Chains A and B, each alone.
Chain A
Amino acid sequence: MASQSIFYGLALIVVGAPMLLVAVLGISSLVDRRLNEDTISRSMLATTWIGLVASLAILAVMLVVDTRRVAVPFGNWVAIADSQHHVHYHMFLKVEFDRLSIPFLILSFLLCGTIGSFAGKYMHREPGFNRFYMLYAIFLLGMVTTSIAGTIETLFTGWELVGLSSALLVAFFHERPAPVRNGLRVWTVYRISDAALLMAAVALHHLKGEGNFDVFLGDAPWPEGHTLLTSSQAFWVGMLLLAAAAGKSALVPFSGWLPRAMEGPTPSSAVFYGALSVHLGAFLLLRVSPLLEASPALCIVVLLIGLATALVGTLSARVQTDIKSALSFASLTQVGIIVAEIGGLRLLPGHSPEWVSYVPLVHILGHGCLRTLQFVRAPSLLLDYKELENAIGGRLSTAQASGPRRLSDGLWLWLYRFAFDRGYLDVLLDRCAAAVRSALRRCDAWEHRWISFLSGEELRRSEQVDHMAAPIEELT
């Protein structure tokens, strides 16, 4: 009982600290009383320290009381309970600490704190310093909420916060059109992924009456849960969740947004697309892994998408000409492998050892840390090279990897083009968007003609602008 109170208090701190930071930065922005750089940086650092210490404390208490799973219910956010009319609806707020959420939570605080501190120097005297930290705080809150969510609605809330902050940070240097266009592209993919997640949440509500993970993933601690859904239900709900994960983690066919997201400031690129945000899809698949267990078909789809993503990532990384794009594709390759691990390891025959379930999680943690380091070093890569060359007193070797080429020239060229065009995935999505756009334009033109017929006017005021360069062009 006492330990439950401790968990409750610590959970409040874990969620409350980033929430308070968002409130402080948000209110000061809204009332136009901007805080100075030093105060903002210190607030961010303090928040992440508090959150990190609270997370570690939760881990310590869990070890002391020897429990693998702690659920902390915060009660109903909204509840309609009417037994007279048999109407029951509730949106339950619950967080869970287990072997999946605790490492991800600690990683979130650790990396957000480190990069937040780094950004204090990196963004010094940038005009959007306050905006950067505001969005960064929203991201932190989103990551924390997603990591420890005990219900799918709570997870959805965090998921949306991460998506919004990511898209707006990609468009951070918003006085130029290119980052804005890329931000819009990221947002578009995220909205598709959010729609899939919302549909999954609603489907679960429909099937089980609520979105509590206990109810449909079983109440055993992760990774031992067994879903209560049938194999067919698990497959369809899993497919929706996979679509959500694919959008968030840039899996095939949505991989095209990842290099575009590098338009944002380096600190946010590092923590978002090197470490945390890009792994959220994989995290979601790990969280719902009992669904995968119930549906081998779903595992095969996950495995194939992971492998395809890894293939596109590794090929594309080899033809990039700037370090951030190369790193983003390297990151994508690893994410693809992690997703393939999630799907593939569940297909292993018989009773595989328990540690196998932890392989993707360990992969996420290791990859996140390494990639963050690489990203934050990326802007000084040339300087690093120069220092190395000065140290050794000569040029670094630039020799390309050589060896017998086993592929024909034609195939080699095709592979190069395939890699250069990022697996033609953007082309594919652009064609779909173009078809939709064309149909919408026809509808719009019909409407114009219909209104002109009714009103007897040839040209309306809104038509006196150039329709050739419409905003949806930005999507392509």
Chain B
Amino acid sequence: MSQLHFSWLELGILIPLAGWLVVGRLRDAVVARHWCLVFTGAALVCTFAEWQDFQTLKTFEAEDRWQPLAQLFGPDLFVVDELSAPLLPHVALLFFLTTLATLRTKIRRFSFSWTLLSEAILLATFSCKEPWLLIALLALGTLRPYWELRARGKPTRVYTLHMGLYVALLVFGQAFVSLEDDQRVHTLWAIVPLMAAVLVRSGIVPFHCWVTELFEHATFGTALLYVAPLTGAYAAMRLVLPIAPDWVLRGLGLISLVTAVYAAALTLIQTDARRFFALLFLSHSALVLVGLEIVTPIGLTGALCLWLSVGLSLGGFGLMLRALESRHGRISLVEFQGLYEHMPILAICFIITGLASVGFPGTSGFIGTELLVDGAVAAYPYTGVAVVIAAALNGIALVQTYFRLFTGTQYASMISLRLGGRERAAVLTLMALILLGGLAPQFSVSGRYHAALALLKQRGVLSNNTEHVSASEAESLVSPEM
């Protein structure tokens, strides 16, 4: 396996882990935020360097040059490939910007040390391909929101039920996969639980209630960081896509499609900003899953592009809502709030991030949505129509929410509500990325296309130089056996 020029991967994981230990001992919340920013920033630099280093190697897969953790736990612990290479800086950026945009009013409620631990776990998850280790990391990742809900005295039952089911399904499914390791074709006992686990984690109907509940009761930052990286989609790529037969993926795609349209429609009638955001996010994450399950190069490329775009745009959109909440308290969408005059930049960024998420031309979401719709129509025409309907509904809902929050009246405030320097830096960084990704999308699309091809080759849908798999063989490779 190719090697990176430095231990970027393990460093990217160890830095936030060390940060967890350091920041956890600090009593002063302001100092804790400062150090959290330093650690998340360093992790961002490492993951970005890893991505650039990986680009120079021109290979599908690479590992660290020196691997201290691998010496302790075994070889090939963490690897980076074309799928995960841009996802790691993407995750690190979300954590960094969330920390950067955390206001003083929120720093006592938002745990920086646990944020760093979550980042370390998530970066390890996205660097991991070994199924059992991946499942262990996915399970560990569910703990942080649970602890926060417990610590804040909020109800945990819905979250615990769903996440418990998720972890149990992962373990059950992977146990069968391991038992059937000598078989080329896995049984439904292995495939269906893994697929169901992905549905639960991605909040696909009827397992979506935990997402709205999490946003309801957890801090906005924690909920956002738990859902925005689309960990469920990653689990689908690593655990389900390589072994699931076409009809299972089609079923998964169909349920995701229903979720995308259903959640988009429900956003139109929401009266609470957090619930609105949760449903908007569900609709988009379901759209990403739709693309992942089309299993054509174009559809998969579209889904992978959309994955990055959704993370950036809805991550940014969430940060805007969080900034609004920091100033205004819990936001109701029943009345007009009229906040535009107090925070015009936030209003502009709010609408741009929202439009990016629905694939508005000139933003990062446009090409992803186009590719996804194109791939979907080529595979199943009704899918393309449903994707377009979901995007249209989301577009209506977000402008409706923009009008609710920023217009309709004049909000009277005795103090300035304008964005602070840190928040503005976070928001403008996201803006720049969203617009850059929209105006010059070729770089991102090429990278995602290579990743899509590699994933399809791994699945056996496409032939490659080393392993020639014909279409009929591919079909036999993925046909189910009970």
Contacts and interface: CB of A to CB of B under 8 A. Distances in A.
B271 A440 contact: no
A470 B391 contact: no
B271 A177 contact: no
Contact of A175 (B209, B338, B453): B338
B275 interface: yes
Interface stretch (A213-221, A224-232, A275-283, A450-458): A450-458
Interface string B416-438: 00000000000010010000000
A411 interface: no
A187 B155 contact: no
A437 B393 CA distance: 13
Interface string B380-395: 0100110011011001
A157 B317 CA distance: 22
Interface in A333-374: none
B165 to A, nearest CB: 12
B212 A89 contact: no
A78 B345 contact: no
A400 B266 CA distance: 51
Contacts of A183: 403
A48 B147 CA distance: 59
Contacts of A164: 355, 360
A311 interface: no
A174 B449 CA distance: 43
Nearest to B389: A195
Contacts of A447: 209, 212, 266
Contact of B209 (A202, A440, A450, A456): A450
Interface in B257-279: 262, 265-266, 268-272, 274-275
A456 B157 CA distance: 8
Contact of B298 (A87, A187, A466): A87
Chain A interface bracket (under 10, 10 to 19, 20 to 34, 35 or more): 35 or more
B215 to A, nearest CB: 9
A386 interface: no
A121 interface: no
A77 B407 contact: no
Interface stretch (B50-58, B80-88, B183-191, B368-376): B368-376
A344 B373 CA distance: 34
Interface string A184-201: 100110011011001100
A469 interface: yes
A444 B374 contact: no
Interface in A58-78: 76-78
Contacts of B404: 471
A395 interface: no
Given A80-B301, A175-B338, A203-B377, A30 B385 contact: no
A195 B333 contact: no
B301 to A, nearest CB: 7
Nearest to B206: A450
B378 A206 contact: yes
B408 interface: yes
Nearest to B453: A85
A195 B449 CA distance: 26
A206 B377 contact: yes
Nearest to B301: A80
B24 interface: no
A31 B428 contact: yes
Contacts of A406: none
B441 A77 contact: yes
Nearest to B159: A455
Contacts of A413: none
Given A167-B399, A180-B403, A187-B396, A437 B408 contact: no
B297 interface: yes
A443 B449 contact: no
Interface in B455-470: 462
A465 B367 CA distance: 38
A78 B377 CA distance: 19
B337 to A, nearest CB: 11
Given A85-B462, A474-B400, A177 B409 contact: yes
A130 to B, nearest CB: 9
Contacts of B301: 80
Most A Cβ at <10 Å: residue of B268, B301, B428 = B268
Given A91-B367, A194-B392, A469-B334, A451 B213 contact: yes
B41 to A, nearest CB: 22
A161 interface: yes
Nearest to A183: B403
A191 B264 CA distance: 14
B226 to A, nearest CB: 18
Contacts of A89: 298, 371, 374
B161 A466 contact: no
B389 to A, nearest CB: 7
Contact of B345 (A32, A161, A465, A471): A32
A63 B444 CA distance: 42
Interface in A433-450: 436-437, 440-441, 443-444, 447, 450
A380 B167 CA distance: 70
Contacts of B271: 462, 465-467, 470-471
A78 B396 contact: no
Interface string A144-185: 000000000100110011001001000100111100100110
B306 to A, nearest CB: 14
B348 A29 contact: yes
Contacts of A175: 338, 341, 407-410
Given A30-B345, A160-B361, A206-B378, A456 B442 contact: no
A435 B367 CA distance: 34
A474 B262 CA distance: 20
A191 B297 CA distance: 28
Contacts of A205: 374, 377
A78 B213 contact: no
A461 interface: yes
A470 B392 contact: no
Contacts of B406: 174
A460 interface: yes
6 tightest Cβ-Cβ pairs between the two chains A and B: A462-B272, A174-B407, A157-B361, A195-B392, A177-B408, A191-B392
Interface of A: 29-32, 76-80, 82, 85, 87, 89, 91, 127, 153, 156-157, 160-161, 164, 167, 171, 174-177, 180, 183-184, 187-188, 191-192, 194-195, 198-199, 202-203, 205-206, 436-437, 440-441, 443-444, 447, 450-451, 454-457, 460-462, 465-467, 469-472, 474
Given A180-B403, A206-B381, 8 more contacts: A30-B348, A30-B431, A167-B399, A174-B408, A175-B410, A441-B269, A443-B266, A470-B333
Interface of B: 155, 157-158, 161, 209, 212-213, 216-217, 262, 265-266, 268-272, 274-275, 297-298, 301, 330, 332-336, 338, 340-341, 344-345, 348-349, 355, 360-362, 367, 370-371, 373-374, 377-378, 381, 384-385, 388-389, 391-392, 395-396, 399-401, 403-404, 406-410, 428, 431, 441-442, 445-446, 449, 453, 462
19 contacts: A30-B345, A31-B428, A32-B345, A80-B301, A87-B297, A87-B298, A167-B399, A175-B338, A177-B409, A198-B388, A198-B391, A202-B377, A202-B384, A202-B388, A203-B377, A206-B378, A436-B265, A440-B268, A457-B155
